[in-house]
């Protein structure tokens, strides 16, 4: 993800998404199941308010299943339709069509009553960078990579990808920015790899991650790094991990960058198991 979201870019991205919205019946909003609020665009509700929407909690395979359930209840209580998804393996994909039909039922019934022949549901995938948009499009389109071609009268050359007989997807997703000006959101996005480590300080990201693990998954932290007790202070915690994993500089000093890289790499490759970085009811 190399995009820097300057105000001009934000306005352009928003304009592009608004243009795409005119073409479709339903929005599939992809969020990261590990941080479903931090991985949403702060203005998304306002931007897509004109269209029905399904929230897809993607990368659910990497999230804590208990907490994913809480998120599903959370969205349900808000009257929003949400599904857990693993776009990489395809788990959850087959739920998308039935839910889309349910969400669009009124509209589809109305058209049917008018005698309009049903056509494919047109959908747009939308989400922040790295949330899995391309993976989902490729997955959905796998048997039907043939594109239906440009539609006349559409100025921007949009291509449609058929998903079975009943869905057509815009082949370019809508990309919107996350709420990264909030520091805590930034750390969560960095830990999950949604934004590059170079945007925030590597050691700061790791301090956030270790404190998070200490509070939420202490047993996993102990087990992974062979700790009998978790030191209360962050520096001794770094030092213990560094000692156990040999993240030392010549002369026996702890190499904090190397320790940070190790911890973040292990979190991202699920060495500490499936983790969720926020749960409903917490402030973000």
| 68 near ligand GTP, rule: CB under 6 A | no
- Find the length of the chain: 284
Side-chain half-sphere CA neighbours of 207 within 13 A: 12
Q: If binding is defined by CB under 6 A, does position 135 make contact with ligand GTP?
A: yes
Beta-carbon contacts of residue 129 (< 8 Å; ≥ 6 apart): 1, 3, 175, 178, 194, 195
Q: Write down the least CB distance from residue 270 to ligand GTP, Å.
A: 8
CA-to-CA distance for 16 and 232, rounded, in angstroms?
A: 48
* Residue 133 binding ligand GTP, by CB under 6 A: yes
User: Applying CB under 6 A, which part among 83-91, 161-169, 208-216, 260-268 lies near ligand GTP?
Assistant: 83-91
Least separation in angstroms between residue 49's CB and ligand GTP is 22
- The answer to the question of residue 230 lying near ligand GTP (CB under 6 A) is no
CA–CA gap between residue 279 and residue 44 (Å, rounded): 19
Among 51, 74, 103, 129, binds ligand GTP (CB under 6 A): 129
Among 5, 16, 19, 134, which residue sits at the site for ligand GTP (rule: CB under 6 A)? 134
φ, ψ for residue 27, nearest 5 deg: -105, 130
Q: Which residue is nearest to ligand GTP (CB)?
A: 132
Beta bridge partners of 27: 53, 124
Q: Which has the closest alpha carbon to 60: 31, 40, 23?
A: 31
Q: Minimum distance from CB of 242 to ligand GTP (Å)?
A: 28
The residue within the footprint of ligand GTP, chosen from 25, 32, 64, 86 (CB under 6 A), is 86
Which residues sit at the interface with ligand GTP, rule CB under 6 A?
Answer: 1, 58-59, 61-62, 86-88, 127, 129-135, 175
């Amino acid at each position: 993800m190399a995009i820097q979201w300057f105000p001009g870019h934000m306005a352009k991205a928003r304009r592009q998404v608004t243009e795409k919205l005119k073409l479709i019946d339903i929005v599939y909003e992809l969020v990261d199941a590990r941080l479903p609020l931090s991985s949403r665009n702060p203005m998304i509700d306002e931007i897509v308010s004109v269209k029905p929407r399904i929230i897809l909690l993607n990368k659910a395979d990497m999230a804590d299943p208990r907490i994913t359930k809480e998120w599903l209840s959370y969205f349900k209580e808000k009257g929003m339709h949400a599904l857990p998804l693993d776009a990489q393996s395809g788990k959850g994909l087959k739920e998308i069509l039935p839910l889309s039909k349910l969400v669009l039922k009124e509209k589809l019934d109305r058209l049917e009553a008018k005698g309009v022949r049903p056509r494919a549901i047109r959908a747009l995938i939308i989400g922040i960078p790295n949330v899995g948009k391309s993976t989902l499009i490729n997955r959905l389109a796998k048997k039907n990579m043939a594109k239906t071609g440009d539609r006349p009268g559409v100025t921007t050359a949009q291509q449609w990808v058929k998903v079975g007989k009943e869905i057509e997807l815009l082949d370019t997703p809508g990309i919107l920015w996350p709420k990264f000006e909030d520091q805590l959101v930034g750390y969560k996005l960095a830990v999950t790899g949604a934004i590059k480590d170079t945007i925030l300080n590597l050691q700061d990201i790791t301090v956030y991650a270790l404190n998070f693990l200490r509070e939420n998954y202490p047993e996993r932290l102990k087990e992974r790094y062979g700790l009998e007790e978790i030191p209360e202070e962050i520096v001794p915690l770094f030092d213990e991990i560094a000692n156990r994993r040999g993240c030392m500089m010549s002369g026996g000093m702890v190499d904090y960058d190397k320790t940070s890289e190790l911890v973040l790499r292990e979190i991202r490759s699920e060495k500490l198991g499936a983790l969720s970085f926020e749960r409903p009811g917490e402030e973000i």
